[in-house]
Structure 1
Amino acid sequence: VFFDCHVSPRVGWEQAFLKQMQRKGDHRTIVVPTITSLNPDTWKELGGNAGGKTCFILWNNDFTWLYNPGRDAPLMSGGLLALSRRWWEETGGYDTNMVAWGGENIDQSLRSWLCGGRIEVADGAYVAHMWRDPKNPKTTLRYPIPTRDVMRNKARAATAWFGEFVEKVMTFPEYEMFTKNGESIGDMRGFQTVKDRLGCAPFTSYLDRFSYIYLDGGLIPDHVFQLREQKTGLCMQVKRNDRQPHNVVLAACAGPHE
Structure 2
Amino acid sequence: MRRRLSPKCCVFGIGILIILWMTFNLARWEWKLSPEPSHSQRLSLRARKSLLVKNPRTQGQGLQSFSVVRHCEELSEVFNKALVKRYNQSLLYSLGVVSDPDDQRARDEGYQKFAFNALISNKIGFHRALPDTRDSRCRDVTFPSIHLDTSIVICYHNELPSALLRMLHSILDRTPEELIREIILVDDSSTLDEVSCQIEAYVNQHLPKVKVVRTPERQGLIRARVYGAHHAKGEVLVFLDSHCEVNTDWLEPLLLRISHDPTTVVVPVIDIINQDTMEYQSSPLVRGGFNWGLHFRWEQLPDSDRKDPDLGSKPIQSPTMAGGLFAMRRDYFHRLGEYDLGMDIWGGENLEISFRIWMCGGRLEIIPCSRVGHIFRKRRPYGNPAGSDTLLKNSLRVAHVWMDEYKKYFLNQRPQANNVDYGDVSDRVSLRKRLSCKSFQWYLKHIYPEQILPNDTKPVKSDTHHQATKAKFSMKKTRVIVRHGRLKHVSTNLCVQSEKDIYTKKALLTFAECDDVSLSGQKAQLWFETVDNQLMLAQLLCLDVESAMAGKSYARLMKCQDSGSSQTWTWTSKNGFSHLYNPASGKCLTATPPRVGGYLSLGLCTESEDQHFLMS
* 2:449–2:459 contact (8 Å) kept in structure 1: no
Q: Deviations over 1:90-109 (max 9, x none)?
A: 11101001001100001000
1:18 counterpart residue number: 255
Separation of aligned partners in 2, 1:157 and 1:53: 24
Q: Deviations over 1:177-225 (max 9, x none)?
A: x41x3x321010121222122100000011101354225x98753299x
The reply to whether residue 57 of structure 1 matches residue 293 of structure 2 is no
* 2:320–2:351 contact (8 Å) kept in structure 1: yes
The reply to whether residue 141 of structure 1 matches residue 380 of structure 2 is yes
Alpha carbons of 1:39 and 1:211: their partners in 2 closer, same or farther (altered >3 Å)? closer
Separation of aligned partners in 2, 1:55 and 1:129: 16
1:92-103 to 2 correspondences below 5 Å: 92-103=337-348
Cα displacement (A) at 1:73 = 0.9
2:272 counterpart residue number: 37
Identity %: 30
Count, aligned residues: 209
1:43-82 to 2 correspondences below 5 Å: 43=278, 45-46=280-281, 48=282, 50-51=283-284, 53-68=286-301, 70=305, 71-82=316-327
Alpha carbons of 1:220 and 1:78: their partners in 2 closer, same or farther (altered >3 Å)? farther
The equivalent position to 2:427 in structure 1, one of 182, 185, 190, is 190
Alpha carbons of 1:163 and 1:13: their partners in 2 closer, same or farther (altered >3 Å)? same
Greater CA radius of gyration, 1 or 2? 2
2:42 counterpart residue number: none
Separation of aligned partners in 2, 1:143 and 1:175: 26
Q: Which has the higher contact order (CA 8 A, sep 6+)?
A: 1
Separation of aligned partners in 2, 1:28 and 1:194: 17
Separation of aligned partners in 2, 1:128 and 1:72: 21
2:242 counterpart residue number: 5
The reply to whether residue 222 of structure 1 matches residue 458 of structure 2 is yes
Alpha carbons of 1:200 and 1:142: their partners in 2 closer, same or farther (altered >3 Å)? same
1:163 counterpart residue number: 404
Letter of the 1:155 partner, please give it.
L
Normalising by structure 1, we get a TM-score of 0.73
Separation of aligned partners in 2, 1:20 and 1:123: 12
Any idea what SS the aligned residue of 1:170 has? helix
Cα displacement (A) at 1:156 = 0.6
The reply to whether residue 209 of structure 1 matches residue 446 of structure 2 is yes
* 2:273–2:373 contact (8 Å) kept in structure 1: yes
* 2:285–2:301 contact (8 Å) kept in structure 1: no
The reply to whether residue 86 of structure 1 matches residue 331 of structure 2 is yes
* 2:287–2:301 contact (8 Å) kept in structure 1: no
Separation of aligned partners in 1, 2:455 and 2:253: 33
Alpha carbons of 1:166 and 1:40: their partners in 2 closer, same or farther (altered >3 Å)? closer
Separation of aligned partners in 2, 1:120 and 1:128: 18
**Larger strand proportion, structure 1 or 2?**
2
Cα displacement (A) at 1:9 = 1.1
Separation of aligned partners in 2, 1:100 and 1:205: 30
The unaligned stretches of length 5 or more in structure 1 are 134-139, 225-258
Separation of aligned partners in 2, 1:223 and 1:3: 34
Q: Deviations over 1:21-59 (max 9, x none)?
A: 22xx3211000011111144775522x4x3364311211
Letter of the 1:81 partner, please give it.
F
Alpha carbons of 1:108 and 1:219: their partners in 2 closer, same or farther (altered >3 Å)? farther
Separation of aligned partners in 1, 2:288 and 2:459: 25
Separation of aligned partners in 1, 2:253 and 2:266: 9
Separation of aligned partners in 2, 1:118 and 1:189: 25
